[in-house]
Amino acid sequence: MNNADTLAGYIPSLPFKGFKWKWACYACTEGINDPVVLLGVLFRMAKLEGRYKYSSDEFADELIQLSHDLKGTGVNVDLERRVGERNIIRNSGQYWKALNLIPAERTGGVITLTPFGRKVANHVISQTEFSAETIATFTLPNNAMDAKERNMWEKANLRLHPLKLILSILNELSSKDASQAYITPLELARIVIPLSGVRGQKLDVYIDCIKLFRDNRLDVSKWPDCCPEANDFRMAREFLLFLSNYGYLTRVSAATREGERYEFKFDLQREIAAILKTTKQVASDVVSDAERKIVTSHSGRPNQARFRKEVLSARKRCVISNVEMPEVLEAAHIKPCKYNGADTASNGFAMRMDIHFLFDSGHLRISEQGDVFLSEKARWSYGASIPPRIILPDYVDRENLRWRWDNYNGA
C-alpha cells in the first residue's frame, strides 16, 4: 500500500478485541503526567522509602503539602483527598510503575522505589534525561498492565514504542512539509492507534493516512474504534501530554480537546532523531543538547527583559559566582513561569549565563537555607568553582525556594 487510492479504501484489522493504547490507568488523571506532580510525588516517596506505607499519615502529610503547592499553578490534581487507604498509589500507582519509578510487583504497601526511581528522586538523572530515556524505552505492553491484558498483546506478538512512534511520525511529516508537522488527539485515536495494531506497519502508511484524512479523502467511519469510551480517548491523549509536558512537542489549544495540536519542535529535530535510534540509554551528548534547547525555549518569554531589569536592579552580581559583568548576567526564575511564578525580584536570582542553565536544568539546586547542590554530572566541571553554601539576598522569597526544592527538577 503506497498510493492514495489503495489507502483510501484500506481498513486496518485489530490484533485482538479491545485493543487500545493504555498509558497507565483506566481511570486517568490528566495532571499526574505533569512533572511537578509525577516527580513531586516521587521526591516525597524518596523521603519516606522503606520506613512508611503509602497509607501512612506521613505520606498523607507529604501529599497534602504538594496539593497546597499546586494551588495557583494551573495543575489541577487534588492530592489532598487521595490519601490514607485510598491513596494515590493504590488507585493510580501505574503512572509510576509504567515508567519504572516504583516496582510493578507488590511491596506490601511499603513505599519502595526502583534503582531508576531513586536516581531520578536523588537528582542523579535530570528531568530531560528521564524523559529521553522514557521515550526510548517505554513499551506497550509493559509490566504495569494486568496479566490478562499483557497476555493478549504477547499472544498477538505485538510490541510497540508509542512515544517513539508519535515522534517518528512527526519527524517524517516535518521532513515532507513543515506545515503538516503536528498531530491532534483525534488523529492519534482514530488513525495512529488502529494502524499500530497491524504488526510491522510501515511508517509511510501512517503518514499517508494522516495526510488523506486532513484532505478529507480518508473515511475512517468503518475503521475499528480503539477509543470507544471517553476515558479511552483520555488515555490516548496522555501520550501527547507527556511529550508536551517534557518539552518535545508544543501544545496548541483548540475549541475541543480532539482538535488540540501537538506541534513538532524543529529545533529539537537532531536530538529527537537520535533518541528514535536509541533502544536503551540515550547518549549523554544528545541529552545535553536537548536539555539546552528545552531550557532556552522556556526562557524566551515576553516579560523576560523587564524581569531581568528588576532582578539586576535588586542585585547586580551573580548569586553564585559574584560576577558583576552585566553582559553575562541573566535573571533566573525560582518558581518557574510555567507554574505561575511571578516576574518579580523576590522570585529571581541574578546568575551568570552558564550557572543559569545549570539552575534551570536542575543540575544546580539551592535550598531555602542557601545550601548549594550540584548534580553528579555538573560536579565534574563545576565542583571546584561552585561554593557549597551562599548568603541568600534578603529580597528573595524563601517560600519560592522551598517550593522549587520540594517539587521541581528542572526544565
The answer to whether the CB of 48 falls within 8 A of the CB of 62 is yes
Predicted confidence at residue 299, as pLDDT, reads 62
207-241 tens-digit pLDDT: 999 999 999 999 999 999 999 988 889 889 999 99
Predicted confidence at residue 5, as pLDDT, reads 66
173-216 tens-digit pLDDT: 998 889 999 999 999 999 999 999 999 999 999 999 999 999 99
Residue with cell 510503575: 97
Q: Which residue from 253, 243, 356, 261 is spatially nearest to 299, judged by alpha carbons?
A: 356
The answer to whether the CB of 311 falls within 8 A of the CB of 380 is no
264-284 tens-digit pLDDT: 999 888 888 888 887 766 767
Q: Which residue from 226, 229, 216, 148 is spatially nearest to 192, judged by alpha carbons?
A: 226
364-379 tens-digit pLDDT: 999 999 999 998 889 9
86-103 tens-digit pLDDT: 899 988 898 999 999 999
Rounded distance between C-alpha atoms, residue 52 and residue 55, angstroms = 8
Cis peptide before 141 (omega within 30 of 0): yes
Rounded distance between C-alpha atoms, residue 145 and residue 59, angstroms = 25
Per-chain mean pLDDT for the chain = 90
Rounded distance between C-alpha atoms, residue 181 and residue 153, angstroms = 30
Q: Is the pTM of this model over 0.95?
A: no
The answer to whether the CB of 206 falls within 8 A of the CB of 192 is yes
Predicted confidence at residue 205, as pLDDT, reads 94
Domain ranges in the chain? 4-12+151-264, 30-137, 302-407
Cell of 90: 493504590
Residue 25: pLDDT band (50, 70, 90) is: low
Question: Of 63-67, 183-187, 291-295, which gets the smallest average pLDDT?
Answer: 291-295
| Better-scored residue on pLDDT, 43 or 297 | 43
The answer to whether the CB of 223 falls within 8 A of the CB of 19 is no
Q: Is residue 346 scored above 70 in pLDDT?
A: yes
Rounded distance between C-alpha atoms, residue 264 and residue 96, angstroms = 26
Predicted confidence at residue 248, as pLDDT, reads 93
Q: Is residue 1 scored above 50 in pLDDT?
A: no
Q: Is residue 321 scored above 90 in pLDDT?
A: yes
Q: Which residue from 282, 272, 284, 270 is spatially nearest to 375, judged by alpha carbons?
A: 284
The answer to whether the CB of 350 falls within 8 A of the CB of 331 is yes
C-alpha angle 365/275/170, rounded to 5°?
110
Dihedral-angle region of residue 200 (phi above 0 means left; psi in -120 to 50 means alpha; beta otherwise):
left
Q: Is residue 156 scored above 90 in pLDDT?
A: yes
Rounded distance between C-alpha atoms, residue 307 and residue 332, angstroms = 9
Residue 4: pLDDT band (50, 70, 90) is: low
The answer to whether the CB of 134 falls within 8 A of the CB of 99 is yes
